Amino acid sequence: AIERPVNFIRNIINDDLAKNKYQSVRTRFPPEPNGYLHIGHAKSICLNFGLAEDYQGECNLRFDDTNPAKEDMEYVESIKRDVQWLGFKWAGDIKYSSNYFEKFYQYAVELINKGLAYVCFLNAEETREYRGNLKEPGKNSPYRDTSPEENLALFEKMRAGGFKEGECVLRAKIDMASSFMCMRDPTLYRVRFETHHQTGDKWCIYPMYDFAHCISDGIEGVTHSLCTLEFQDNRRIYDWLLDHLDDFSRPDRPFQYEFSRLNLEYTVMSKRMLHQLVNDKLVDGWDDPRMPTISGMRRRGYTPASLRDFAERIGISKVDSMTEMGILEAAIRDDLNVVAPRTMAVMDPIKLVIENYPEGEIESIQAPVHPQNEAMGTREIFFGRELYIDRADFEPEAPNRKFMRLAIDKEVRLRNAYIIKAERYETDADGNITTVYCSYDPDTRGKNPADGRKVKGVIHFVESTKALPAEFRVYDRLFTVPNPAKENDFEAVLNPDSLIIKNGFVEPGMADAPVEQAYQCEREGYFCRDNKITDRLVFNRTVALRDTWSQ
Ligand code: ATP
Ligand code: MG
Ligand code: MG
């Protein structure tokens, strides 16, 4: 049963299955291991793995590792971890394009034998010149009509290390007058004396993306090969190659379909820019909670369910657009509102002394873990003579009648506890408030005052002797403009206040908060325990309680 909304890709698949073009669906997610995955990749993962799930097919995880210079095992490991964390299972063993290097070579030989590929010795500048432009057809390379025998010998020599980097390439013989520039005899192989993370020094020629991708899809029996719109023109090469190789020129071969990539406001998604942020130490690594990487968002407190839900909300289309951050945040809020246990945390503490409360006495209170879900049980909190409240919750004089917090001679309820009234306060030498002195009404714990007076304001607190010191990391957008990628210098538009650290207190029950476990710190936002710094209590703010983006 397919419950997800119909989109143009589902229409294609439904149609293909109805016509018996394929017996089952196989997709693939093909990251290049040259960086960490980001939220844009999550869109592609949810699409490819989601389709496989819904059609009872399979989805391969394939490392598109044909460009050894920029790739690394660190990225391979992080990508596996991120896909699993999102909740998906790949079909069988992990695939590597580099596993097919010998096969790729043989398919190149097939093209050479068919007179459809040649070794070209034009240098980069000449190649550009010969290619022509959109207004003018290109010119044939002087090497284009070399015989298959001669080309085979040259290609073997390329493989054997007989040519220097840049000296020659293998090109497909397609059409130097094509209106698709990419079809003007695209490069299939180049010489690179690089050590590869999977194949070591076995190879000194490496296939290009356009050659390796369609053949990898063919080898793996992929049916629907989904990629982003910038590969639209390359689809011609994809089709040309598969149609000219005997193993793949069948009606049930893979076909490529393009969808629009995710662009998210106030962040960047290009790997080049993400690398720059990490290398220039503008963030604290790939998993900095401000990064749009899956590992950063995980550390920030995003849940797999929220990212999958986000992918559903934005859907799949062929229209390029910029997605508002508010959509992502709505997805995580909607998840956490239901599942996150409630707790009280004071992030900018001042002391509150209840003068009519017996000295030395502490009382225990069972507070609900989730006010709307009794099944989540209760937690133990404490109340006593000395508490902490947030600085913002007290003003000596209420600024207006709508002020629902504490002021002198005004009453508020302390969440889960009693009604109190502020009597006087103390300041330090600079005039900052340090302590508020109050009285409490002992007959108001968990109930309204007997005399019928109405107390509307509620503020949160922690009991001072039981409270645990904690650090709170409050994050804001990483950039000050919606589309930093289009700036000349995107580092110039970094938000200097993207991280604000506050030191305060949490309930004692938070001592053993598991890393990445989400909490709603009531009235403050959703937070989770940091998964990297664990020797003390550090909490990352995942998201505020309400949308602050549209202001
Ligand atoms: P970059 O261009 O920044 O290097 P990439 O697209 O080359 O990124 P890959 O590792 O090749 O990164 O991407 C793996 C898969 O994820 C591809 O199928 C790609 O289309 C998809 N993908 C990458 N970025 C996005 C995005 N922003 N939105 C949707 N899909 C994406
Ligand atoms: Mg790339
Ligand atoms: Mg890519």
CATH number at residue 481: 1.10.1160.10
Predicted pLDDT of residue 551: 42
293 with 433, same domain: the answer is: no
Residue at which a domain ends, from 442, 460, 478: 460
Predicted pLDDT of residue 6: 83
Would 2 be classed as within a structural domain? no
286 with 418, same domain: the answer is: no
50 with 165, same domain: the answer is: yes
Nearest-CA residue for ligand 1 atom 2 is: 270
Nearest-CA residue for ligand 1 atom 7 is: 32
**Ligand 1 within 6 A of CB of 261:** yes
Would 548 be classed as within a structural domain? no
Would 550 be classed as within a structural domain? no
Would 360 be classed as within a structural domain? yes
Q: What beta strand segments (E) does 147-303 contain? A: 169-172, 187-191, 205-207, 224-228, 255-259
Residue at which a domain ends, from 460, 478, 513: 460
Of the candidates 240, 242, 207, 206, the residue with the CA atom closest to the CA atom of residue 223? 242
- Note the pLDDT tens digit of each residue in 428-483: 999 999 999 999 999 999 899 999 999 999 999 999 999 999 999 999 999 999 99
Domain membership of residue 138 as a residue range: 8-259
Share of the chain above pLDDT 70, in %: 99
Q: Rounded distance, CA 178 to CA 393, Å?
A: 69
Cα of 409 vs its chain's centroid, Å:
49
**Ligand 1 within 6 A of CB of 323:** no
Residue 26 has pLDDT above 50, yes or no: yes
- The gap between the terminal CA atoms of the chain, to the nearest Å, is 41
Predicted pLDDT of residue 525: 98
Residue 549 has pLDDT above 60, yes or no: no
Predicted pLDDT of residue 39: 98
CA–CA–CA angle 269, 272, 278 (5° rounding): 85
Of the candidates 475, 537, 530, the residue with the CA atom closest to the CA atom of residue 506? 537
122 with 46, same domain: the answer is: yes
Residue 415 known to be catalytic: no
429 with 537, same domain: the answer is: no
Q: What is the H or E stretch that residue 74 is in?
A: helix 73-85
**Ligand 1 within 6 A of CB of 44:** yes
Would 221 be classed as within a structural domain? yes
Using most ligand atoms within 8 A of CB, pick from 9, 48, 228 the residue to mutate for ligand 1: 228
Using most ligand atoms within 8 A of CB, pick from 41, 83, 260, 273 the residue to mutate for ligand 1: 41
Residue 278 has pLDDT above 80, yes or no: yes
Nearest-CA residue for ligand 1 atom 13 is: 31
Give the pLDDT band (50/70/90) at residue 15: very high
Predicted pLDDT of residue 45: 98
- Note the pLDDT tens digit of each residue in 171-209: 999 999 999 999 999 999 999 999 999 999 999 999 999
Among the listed residues 32, 53, 156, 395, the single catalytic one is: 32
Predicted pLDDT of residue 454: 94
DSSP string for residues in 119-154: EE---HHHHHHHH--SSS-----TTTT--HHHHHHH
- Note the pLDDT tens digit of each residue in 477-535: 999 999 999 999 999 999 999 999 999 999 999 999 999 999 999 999 999 999 999 99
CATH of the domain at 449: 2.40.240.10
The alpha-carbon radius of gyration of the chain (Å, integer) is 31
Interval 270-274 mean pLDDT: 96
Predicted pLDDT of residue 384: 98
Residue 55 has pLDDT above 90, yes or no: yes
301 with 359, same domain: the answer is: no
Report the half-sphere exposure of 295 (CA within 13 A, side-chain side). 19
506 with 432, same domain: the answer is: no
Q: Rounded distance, CA 520 to CA 337, Å?
A: 8
380 with 486, same domain: the answer is: no
91 with 23, same domain: the answer is: yes
Predicted pLDDT of residue 3: 63
181 with 296, same domain: the answer is: no
Residue at which a domain ends, from 460, 487, 513: 460
Of the candidates 145, 45, 142, 138, the residue with the CA atom closest to the CA atom of residue 90? 45
Q: Taking every pair of C-alpha atoms in the chain, what is the biggest distance, in angstroms?
A: 103
416 with 496, same domain: the answer is: no
**Ligand 1 within 6 A of CB of 228:** yes
CATH of the domain at 163: 3.40.50.620
Would 337 be classed as within a structural domain? yes
Q: Rounded distance, CA 378 to CA 364, Å?
A: 12
15 with 111, same domain: the answer is: yes
Burial class (CB in 10 A: 0-12, 13-18, 19+), 460: buried
Residue 32 known to be catalytic: yes
Number of domains in the chain: 3
Among the listed residues 26, 43, 271, 410, the single catalytic one is: 271
DSSP classification of residue 494: B
Would 447 be classed as within a structural domain? yes
ipTM associated with this complex: 0.96
**Ligand 1 within 6 A of CB of 292:** no
Of the candidates 269, 350, 324, the residue with the CA atom closest to the CA atom of residue 482? 324
Using most ligand atoms within 8 A of CB, pick from 39, 44, 227 the residue to mutate for ligand 1: 44
Residue 70 known to be catalytic: no
Would 314 be classed as within a structural domain? yes
